[in-house]
Amino acid sequence: MNTPTTDSLTALQALLGGLRTIELGQPLENGMPCSPSHPGFRMALLRRHGDRVNAQGGSGANELIVTGGHVGTHLDALCHAAIDGRMFGGVDAHAASVGGAFTVHGVDTVRPFLCRGVLADIPKLLGVPRLEPGFGITADHLRAAFGDTVPGADEVALIRTGWPQLYHDPTAYVGHETGVPGITAEAAEYLADTGVRAVCSDTIATDQILPGVGHAALPAHGVLLVERGVHIMEVLTFEELAAAGVREVLYVAVPLRITGATGSPIRPLALIPREAADVR
């Protein structure tokens, strides 16, 4: 006779078997787009097969990886931003960072994400393949894109701009000279008011980036991270999800437990029913 635990696991396996997994993250590789404010990603093999072989003919290979916490698909911890020297909750940013790691709001304090995610497909809303450089996504855009399916407390908002179509060109994707589409401060306030735990975007900064301004001003970061305590996840891709015509997903993402860090790489996944139809 099966125990309740065995029955539960069997039911969970059956449920997962009926789901399709969609990758929402970008690959970590040398030469990928990176914000000018952060160190880039580097990986190199330190030992190759054949460099050292044991008596049984076995060998091992390994690598050295160097990266910042905000490179590639990643999560921003609340200690990533401050205004007038204060982080979320009024915490003194300098005092919390003495010793080389944050004692408050570090990425190691962030719980894994296993929740509903709701897609706001702004290009679909506007009838374009991707948003124009420097386009500002307003609260009205988000309301229209969400419709009756609005993310709520402890859920995540997925904001599609179509910008991953330029990911192969790091200069275009970072968009310092041209600008990058993103949310305005007003849109960030609206998202925070829904109660979401995180805002996930497919650009390198989430904020609207104006041509020639770059990352010098990120008001949505201030609203979300500092004023409202909402995490930000960046450099995702929603192209496959949009092509599937699905707006609601089971969202999974786990940051690394790096003590006192301001951010962490993540590998976000969207789980959707296998029979989900393309309803675009």
What are the pLDDT digits (tens) for 120-142?
A: 999 999 999 999 999 999 999 99
pLDDT of residue 262: 98
pLDDT of residue 16: 73
Owner of token pair 């589409």: 181
The rounded distance, in Å, linking the Cα atoms of 115 and 110 is 14
Q: What is the pLDDT along the chain (280 residues), one digit of tens a residue?
A: 556 687 777 776 767 778 899 999 999 999 999 998 899 999 999 999 999 999 999 999 999 999 999 999 999 999 999 999 999 999 999 999 999 999 999 999 999 999 999 999 999 999 999 999 999 999 999 999 999 999 999 999 999 999 999 999 999 999 999 999 999 999 999 999 999 999 999 999 999 999 988 788 899 999 999 999 999 999 999 999 999 999 999 999 999 999 999 999 999 999 999 876 444 4
The pTM for the full model equals 0.92
Contacts of 209 (CB under 8 A, 6+ apart): 134, 175, 176, 179, 180, 181, 182, 203, 215
Short-list 224, 90, 67, 94, CA closest to 159: 224
Instruction: Give CB contacts under 8 A, 24+ apart, made by 215-223.
Output: 215/35, 215/36, 215/37, 218/81, 219/184, 219/185, 219/188, 220/182, 220/183, 220/184, 220/185, 220/187, 220/188, 221/76, 221/80, 221/81, 222/81, 222/83, 222/185, 223/185, 223/188, 223/189, 223/192
pLDDT of residue 276: 67
Owner of token pair 């995702």: 236
Alpha helices in the chain, H assignment, sequence order: 4-17, 93-97, 122-126, 139-146, 170-174, 185-193, 219-221, 239-244
Short-list 40, 43, 21, CA closest to 32: 40
Query: DSSP letter string over 203-270?
Result: SSSSB-B-TTTGGG--HHHIIIIIIS--EEEESB--HHHHHHT--EEEEEE-----TT-SEEE---EE
pLDDT of residue 278: 46
